[in-house]
Amino acid sequence: MTPAIEEARRLLRLAMRDEDTFELLLPLPTAPLSAIGFHAQQAVEKSLKAACVLRGLEIRRTHDLAAIAQSLLDEGATLPMPPDDFRQLNPFAVQYRYDDELQSSMTLEELRMAMRRVMAWARQLT
Protein backbone atom coordinates (compact mmCIF):
# COMPACT_ATOMS: atom_id res chain seq x y z
CA MET A 1 0.00 0.00 0.00
CA THR A 2 1.33 3.43 -0.92
CA PRO A 3 1.84 6.22 1.61
CA ALA A 4 -0.83 8.27 -0.18
CA ILE A 5 -3.42 5.51 0.21
CA GLU A 6 -2.47 5.05 3.87
CA GLU A 7 -2.85 8.77 4.55
CA ALA A 8 -6.14 8.98 2.64
CA ARG A 9 -7.51 6.06 4.65
CA ARG A 10 -6.36 7.72 7.89
CA LEU A 11 -8.22 10.88 6.95
CA LEU A 12 -11.32 8.84 6.12
CA ARG A 13 -11.15 7.12 9.51
CA LEU A 14 -11.08 10.57 11.10
CA ALA A 15 -14.02 11.60 8.93
CA MET A 16 -15.92 8.55 10.16
CA ARG A 17 -15.26 9.65 13.73
CA ASP A 18 -16.89 12.99 12.92
CA GLU A 19 -19.77 11.19 11.24
CA ASP A 20 -20.27 9.05 14.36
CA THR A 21 -20.29 12.17 16.54
CA PHE A 22 -22.81 13.82 14.19
CA GLU A 23 -25.10 10.80 14.57
CA LEU A 24 -24.67 10.72 18.36
CA LEU A 25 -25.60 14.39 18.70
CA LEU A 26 -28.49 14.31 16.25
CA PRO A 27 -31.18 12.85 18.53
CA LEU A 28 -30.28 15.06 21.51
CA PRO A 29 -32.94 17.78 21.77
CA THR A 30 -30.52 20.29 23.30
CA ALA A 31 -27.65 19.69 20.86
CA PRO A 32 -27.11 22.95 18.97
CA LEU A 33 -27.16 22.92 15.18
CA SER A 34 -23.75 24.59 15.24
CA ALA A 35 -22.17 21.61 17.06
CA ILE A 36 -23.90 19.01 14.90
CA GLY A 37 -23.05 20.91 11.72
CA PHE A 38 -19.42 21.28 12.79
CA HIS A 39 -18.99 17.52 12.69
CA ALA A 40 -20.67 17.26 9.28
CA GLN A 41 -18.36 19.98 7.97
CA GLN A 42 -15.32 18.25 9.44
CA ALA A 43 -16.27 14.88 7.92
CA VAL A 44 -16.63 16.52 4.51
CA GLU A 45 -13.37 18.45 4.90
CA LYS A 46 -11.39 15.33 5.81
CA SER A 47 -12.99 13.40 2.94
CA LEU A 48 -12.03 16.11 0.45
CA LYS A 49 -8.51 16.22 1.84
CA ALA A 50 -8.27 12.42 1.46
CA ALA A 51 -9.10 12.90 -2.23
CA CYS A 52 -6.41 15.60 -2.45
CA VAL A 53 -3.82 13.23 -0.98
CA LEU A 54 -4.71 10.56 -3.53
CA ARG A 55 -4.22 13.08 -6.35
CA GLY A 56 -0.91 14.29 -4.97
CA LEU A 57 -2.28 17.72 -4.12
CA GLU A 58 -1.01 19.74 -1.21
CA ILE A 59 -3.40 19.66 1.72
CA ARG A 60 -4.09 23.30 2.39
CA ARG A 61 -4.61 24.44 5.96
CA THR A 62 -8.05 25.80 5.31
CA HIS A 63 -11.63 25.05 6.25
CA ASP A 64 -12.89 26.49 2.94
CA LEU A 65 -14.54 23.45 1.41
CA ALA A 66 -15.35 25.24 -1.83
CA ALA A 67 -11.67 26.12 -2.31
CA ILE A 68 -10.58 22.53 -1.62
CA ALA A 69 -13.27 21.26 -4.00
CA GLN A 70 -12.15 23.74 -6.67
CA SER A 71 -8.54 22.56 -6.41
CA LEU A 72 -9.78 19.00 -7.01
CA LEU A 73 -11.85 20.15 -9.99
CA ASP A 74 -8.81 21.97 -11.39
CA GLU A 75 -7.00 18.61 -11.32
CA GLY A 76 -9.79 16.89 -13.25
CA ALA A 77 -11.67 15.28 -10.37
CA THR A 78 -15.38 14.63 -10.62
CA LEU A 79 -17.00 15.80 -7.40
CA PRO A 80 -20.12 14.40 -5.72
CA MET A 81 -21.70 17.86 -5.65
CA PRO A 82 -20.99 21.32 -7.11
CA PRO A 83 -18.39 23.55 -5.40
CA ASP A 84 -21.07 26.06 -4.41
CA ASP A 85 -22.84 23.35 -2.40
CA PHE A 86 -19.67 22.88 -0.37
CA ARG A 87 -19.70 26.61 0.40
CA GLN A 88 -22.92 26.17 2.43
CA LEU A 89 -21.00 24.01 4.91
CA ASN A 90 -18.16 26.49 5.38
CA PRO A 91 -19.75 28.55 8.19
CA PHE A 92 -19.96 25.48 10.43
CA ALA A 93 -16.16 25.34 10.63
CA VAL A 94 -15.86 28.60 12.56
CA GLN A 95 -18.66 31.16 12.23
CA TYR A 96 -21.55 29.18 13.69
CA ARG A 97 -19.46 28.06 16.64
CA TYR A 98 -18.59 31.62 17.65
CA ASP A 99 -21.68 33.61 16.66
CA ASP A 100 -24.89 32.49 18.30
CA GLU A 101 -27.11 34.65 16.10
CA LEU A 102 -26.28 33.25 12.68
CA GLN A 103 -28.81 30.93 11.07
CA SER A 104 -27.99 28.09 8.72
CA SER A 105 -29.80 27.63 5.44
CA MET A 106 -29.21 23.86 5.74
CA THR A 107 -31.42 21.45 7.62
CA LEU A 108 -30.06 18.58 9.65
CA GLU A 109 -31.15 16.15 6.94
CA GLU A 110 -29.39 18.22 4.25
CA LEU A 111 -26.23 18.18 6.37
CA ARG A 112 -26.47 14.42 6.77
CA MET A 113 -27.06 13.84 3.06
CA ALA A 114 -24.14 16.06 2.02
CA MET A 115 -21.82 14.42 4.54
CA ARG A 116 -22.77 10.90 3.50
CA ARG A 117 -22.54 11.70 -0.22
CA VAL A 118 -19.04 13.14 0.06
CA MET A 119 -17.79 10.39 2.36
CA ALA A 120 -19.10 7.64 0.08
CA TRP A 121 -17.45 9.35 -2.89
CA ALA A 122 -14.11 9.60 -1.07
CA ARG A 123 -14.24 5.99 0.14
CA GLN A 124 -14.70 4.69 -3.38
CA LEU A 125 -11.54 6.56 -4.44
CA THR A 126 -9.39 4.46 -2.09
Which residues form the domain of 86?
Answer: 3-125
Measure the CA dihedral 65/32/102/84, to 10°: 20
Range with the lowest mean pLDDT among 15-19, 90-94, 117-121?
90-94
Residue 123 CB coordination number (10 Å): 15
Mean pLDDT score of the chain: 92
pLDDT band at 15, cuts 50/70/90?
very high
List the CATH number of the domain containing 72.
1.20.120.330
Query: Confidence band (pLDDT; 50, 70, 90) for 48?
Result: very high
The whole-angstrom separation of Cα 47 and Cα 92 is: 16
Counted domains in the chain: 1
Helix, strand, or coil here: 27? coil
Nearest to 68, CA basis, from 42, 37, 94: 42
Q: Model confidence over 88-107: pLDDT tens digits?
A: 999 998 877 677 666 778 89
43 membership: H or E segment, kind and range: helix 33-54
